[in-house]
Structure formats: structure tokens, C-alpha cells
Structure 1
Amino acid sequence: MLDLRFLVLSALAFSGINNAQVDLGIASAFAVLAGTAVTNTGSSTTNGSVGVAPGTAITGFPPGTITNGAMHLADTDAFQAQAYVAAAYAAAAGLPPNTDLSGQDLGGMTLGAGVYSFSSSAQLTGSLVLDGHGDPSSVWVFQIGSTLTTASAASVLLINGGSPCNVFWQVGSSASVGAATAFVGSVLALASIDAVTGSSFNGGLYARNGAVTLDTNNVLGGLACPTTATCLYKQYTCGYNLVAARGYNNAELTAAANQTGPIPPLTTDELLQVLYYCNDTANHIVGNSFCIAGCIAMPFRYDDQCAM
């Protein structure tokens, strides 16, 4: 009955939360991001970049390997990603909780989408099941006042359409994930993250002020949920055109004049610069900046101007 109560409560309260409220932005291109240092032992693998800022120490790559990403030591990308992590951390911490789980072990629970809070530490022993109830936009946010600790061989399982890109663990201190644990979701820790030997992650590891320590882990980062957006600019219909991070392509603009609707999953470069444009009723676009009715095409982040 306890699990059923959680499912009912979270289903009733979920209507006010969506994945746009906890936005990792360009940080989603990072599998691992630390504030002071990233230290690896053994043959860890990451899908996504590994970075540190403001610290400058990354060790253990190799033997660790990075796929679909690069190493970023206190460079512009790492600092920008940390800014997004700080914003995502604050957004997650600021959501009104649906259910207080303080003092309870997450092991053995089945939870629907919602915001779950712990006044101090959180513990996972055994398996936690996250049930999406057939809704791929279901979001889970765990607000943890101090530490997050999992036992060895613990697991987080997603069922019925839930997506790992919509699971967030906001940790007020440090996180320690036990050996051979299969973990799901992005960990946003104020201090450090310790991934014990053999643990695996379907989500990114983001330590704002401390270190991330790896030991023969698999970190499947780079999780950015597909995003949809629509908007109106004065009386004109707005569309979108994804362009490279540098320069505009007028031919692409013209060809895309009638496109509106879903924005496909974005690469890192595309996320840095999404070109929105407007077209008049005759669908004319002149140059890279203006259309003949005086409708201005300008570059800006889609989530700055469009309702999500």
C-alpha cells in the first residue's frame, strides 16, 4: 500500500512540472563535470565529455576512455557547463516537493513522476523503480538535504516509458554510489561524487564544488531530452533553423521558411546557437537578417523566447 500511495500522490501533483524546469543546457554534453578534479582508476568509459572548472586536474584518461566528447580543463565549455549545472541545481532545489521521504530507504519503492524530498540524507538499498505510466515526459526530481548513498549492487529501474534524461538527483552535499550499482538519472551534487568500483550510470555526474572520483565505471552521459517549442513574433509565425555555431546559411533559411513545430534533439554546437526567424504571409526572406515585411530574424536560445 505504501508504494501505491506514492504513485497516487505523485500522479496528482505532476501536472505542474516538466523537463524544461530543470534544464542542463550544454552541460548535457558532459558525462562527467567536476569543480575541483576528476580522478579515474581503471577502464572507465564515458559517453560524453569529461570536464573540470574552475579546477584544472583530470587524471586517469587513459586508461579511461571518452566517446562522443572531449576533455575540457577549465576552458570556456567547462565554465559554461558549470553555469548550467548551477542553474539546474537551483531549479531542482526550488521545486515544491510532492512527497517527503525523509528517513525512508528508497529500496523497494515504486514511484511515479514527481518531486521527492529528504530533509537530510537519502539511502538506496536494493532496487528503486520509477514508473512513467506510459508518459515519456514524466519527470522525477529528488531533493536531498545532505548526502546520497547507495549500497553495493543497488539499482534504479525505469519502466513504462520513463526516460533517464528526466531524472534528477539534487544532492545538498556529496553522493557515493556503491560498487556494482546500476544508477539512473543526472546527479547534481553541491560537493563531490564518488562512483565506487563497477557502478554504472545512465545519466551525467555533475559536482559543482568538489571532485568526481571514478573507478572502472560506465557513465552514459550526454542526455538531452528532445524539446518542442512554438512561438509567435508579432503577427508572424515563427519557425526555426538549426545552424552551425558560426555563420548563417541563407539558402537553409529560405528552404526552411515554412517549418514550425518540434525542435529535434540538439547537438552541442546547435544548442549554442539556434536561429529563429520570422516570415511574412508571402514567405519571403531576404538576406540573413530581415524579411521584406520588416520581420527581424535574430539568433537567440529557443528557451529564452518560446513557451515550452
Structure 2
Amino acid sequence: MGRFAVLGGASVTNTGLSIVTGDLGVSPGVSITGFPPGQVNGSIHNSDAAAVAAHADLITTYNDAVGQIPDAGITGDLGGQTLPPGVYNAASSIGLTGTLTLDAQGDRNAEWIFQIGSTLTTATASHVLLVNGATARNVIWLIGSSATLGTDTDFAGRVLAQISITVNAGVTVNGQVLAINGSVTLDTNRITRPW
């Protein structure tokens, strides 16, 4: 799944002029729509060998990360918080309104894992800010059901959802959006896989 910016389990659907940098695929489903007008700076994989392998890798990565022992619990809304590296666990849903700052404290290898029991929902124009050496590839969001990124959100990290991911209009993702069983829905977005 490393080279994929977008991977859906059932389908990938796009509206508008989305730009995906990295590969885009679906497996085990076979439905990819909206490209064009969407643009993929990479390859499109419709349930081919690469997509099947990425889907299997996604499940393994998800299960490994879910099995990590939490350093701290989180509840409610993450807006306004600054979090050091660690494993954060939420029993149910988490929201993000405003800005969440992830502070690597000068360690470029710093990692964050967010174990979210059900849903992740960001409000309009929310932000995940990476500071002091934090990198998007070292941030994993594990979503027990589905994620919804609100209009004009500026998001960072690898979103791994059990079911679906809805990326609303104007959202920018520095990372990956990867759905195990359901669909990824895009709408005039810019999604860039971290290198």
C-alpha cells in the first residue's frame, strides 16, 4: 500500500478536479469513477495484482497498529491540542474542530498512532499541523468505522478506515486515504502521498 495515495475496498468515486499524487486503486471492488476529470499523478489499479497486494498490506498494517499498547486516552474533540509522539486510543468517535498540532520535538522519526473506535469527523477548515520535524508518513489514523473530512480541511497522515472515507470539497490531504471494506469518495481534493 506504500505507493498508493488512495485505495478503496469497494469503490473509488470522484467529483470535480481532484489531483491525486501517488497511485490510486480499488480491491476487491472494481469500481473507479471520476477520473477524468480527476487527475492521477501515478498509476490506476482496478483490482489488479498491485491493488490486491496493497489491500492485503493495508489489513496487516491496520491490525498491527491496532495491537499497539496505548500511551494515552483521547476523547471528544482534538482541536486546540498539541500532542507529542505516541499511541492514542479513543473508545468511540473523535472530532477535530480547529487545529491539532503534532509536535515531533526535533525527532524526525517520531510516530503517532490514533486508534479510534468508530468515526473520525473534522469540521470545516480544520487543520492537522506538523511541527518540529513531524512527517505525515509517520502519522497513522486507524478508524474503526468511517472517516469524514470536512470541507476545506487541511489534513495530514495516513487514514486507514475499516469501512469508508468521505473527503469533502476543498480538502487537502498530505498522506493517504485507504478504506478496507467500503468506498473512498473524493470531491475536488488534493491528495499527496508522503514520500
Fold match by TM threshold 0.5 = yes
Q: Which residue identity does 2:106 align to in structure 1? A: G
| Aligned-partner Cα distance in 2 for 1:28–1:133 | 26
1:58 aligns with 2:46: no
Aligned mate of 1:86, from 20, 35, 59: 59
TM-score between the two structures when normalised by the length of structure 1: 0.63
C-alpha deviation, 1:28, in angstroms: 1.5
Q: Deviations over 1:191-234 (max 9, x none)?
A: 0000000001000000000000000000001x35xxxxxxxxxx
TM-score between the two structures when normalised by the length of structure 2: 0.99
Structure 1 segment 1-308 matched on structure 2, within 5 A = 27-67=1-41, 69-102=42-75, 104-221=76-193, 223-224=194-195
C-alpha deviation, 1:91, in angstroms: 1.0
Aligned residues: 195
Between the aligned residues of both structures, percent identity stands at 50
Which SS does the other structure have where 1:180 is aligned? Answer: coil
C-alpha deviation, 1:92, in angstroms: 1.1
| Aligned-partner Cα distance in 1 for 2:29–2:56 | 14
Q: Which residue identity does 1:125 align to in structure 2? A: T
| Aligned-partner Cα distance in 2 for 1:122–1:151 | 11
Q: Which sections of structure 1, spanning at least 5 residues, go unmatched?
A: 1-26, 225-308
* Larger helix share, 1 or 2: 1
Which SS does the other structure have where 2:2 is aligned? Answer: helix
Structure of larger gyration radius:
1
| Aligned-partner Cα distance in 1 for 2:34–2:54 | 21
Higher relative contact order (CA 8 A, sep 6+): 2
Q: Deviations over 1:58-91 (max 9, x none)?
A: 0000000011x11100100000000110011001
Q: Which sections of structure 2, spanning at least 5 residues, go unmatched?
A: none
* Larger strand share, 1 or 2: 2
Q: Which residue identity does 1:77 align to in structure 2? A: A
| Aligned-partner Cα distance in 2 for 1:28–1:118 | 26
Q: Deviations over 1:138-172 (max 9, x none)?
A: 00000000000000000000000011110000000
| Aligned-partner Cα distance in 1 for 2:125–2:135 | 21
Q: Which residue identity does 2:39 align to in structure 1? A: T
CA contact (8 A) 1:28 1:204 kept: no
The list of structure 1 runs, each at least 4 consecutive aligned residues, that deviate by more than 3 angstroms after superposition, is none
